Amino acid sequence: MKLIFKTILALLAIIIFSSCQSEKSTHLTIGISKVIGGAGYLQYTTWLKSLDSTLEIVNFYGLSLDSASKLLEKCDGLLLSGGPDVHPNFYGKPEYDSLCEIDNYRDTLEFALIKSALDKKMPILGICRGFQILNVALGGQLYADIPTQLSQSVNHRCENKDSCLHKISFIAFDDNFDFMKKHLNNIIVNSNHHQGVSYLAKELQPLAISDDGLIEAFSWKNQTDKSFMIAVQWHPERLSKINPYLSDSLGIRFLNASKIFKESK
């Protein structure tokens, strides 16, 4: 009787374990560098979950570097969200400090997350600040303040962020943006930033620019043996009503790459 009981328990354990493993394999876990602190940050979760309601979202902001590193191990993709400026010390322009709104902890956190994600070849989606810090992490530089450092014909920042829209043009394509080849006319994006790429890291290539020549999207020059990466200056999480094709296609590409990464682990 005891042997039968033990056998039944063992079989139940196997069934439960298999069930948990199966459930785990169908749910993606996406880590976001900061997804708390206001309504704007919550939009990243809302947007991604509109594309896949089963997602598990991890917030890294507020964690120690050690805890964040351990939590990243459980993630299938990394989203670097928007927010305050990257400290100009990191791109050799300390004299621009007074032009910037700085979060030193966040800089340290995100540089560590980027390095770890790249080492793991984990998919990365960089949005606005995320786009900027990726460029800096790879050796690029930024305009610390576009209005005073770049002659511009495009308003990249407005008091009402939802009314700040402008056209972009694609100047190159990679596999992540090939879907845009059929939609090249009047591509409208939003923006809410006063910083931008002044010098693109050598490993990267520009994909899209605004009418004043500012880089709006970039990717690897050579994607061989690299993380999947989408990096954009605009905010796809707020673009769904204006340009759903562009916004949601980017999110889906990122999630599909995260699924492939998950299955490869």
Which positions ≥6 away from 217 have C-beta within 8 Å? 131, 168, 170, 177, 206, 207, 208, 230, 231, 232, 233
Q: If pLDDT is split at 50, 70 and 90, which confidence band does 192 have?
A: confident
CATH for the stretch 28-264:
3.40.50.880
pLDDT for 222 beyond 60: yes
Give the per-residue pLDDT at 265.
87
Contact between residue 210 and residue 167 where contact means Cβ atoms under 8 Å apart = yes
pLDDT for 203 beyond 80: yes
CB atoms within 10 A of CB 215: 25
Give the per-residue pLDDT at 175.
84
Catalytic residue list: 128, 235, 237
pLDDT tens, position by position, 93-105: 999 999 999 999 9
Give the per-residue pLDDT at 152.
67
Helix (H), strand (E), coil (C) string for 160-217: CHHHCEEEEEECCCCCCCHHHHHCCCCEEEECCCCCEEEECCCCEEEEEEECCCCEEE
Question: For 117-133, what is the mean pLDDT?
Answer: 98
Strand 196-199 and strand 141-143: pairing?
antiparallel
Q: If pLDDT is split at 50, 70 and 90, which confidence band does 18 have?
A: very low
pLDDT for 6 beyond 80: no
Question: For 24-34, what is the mean pLDDT?
Answer: 87
Give the per-residue pLDDT at 25.
54
pLDDT tens, position by position, 128-182: 999 999 999 999 999 999 888 887 666 777 667 677 898 999 998 888 888 888 7
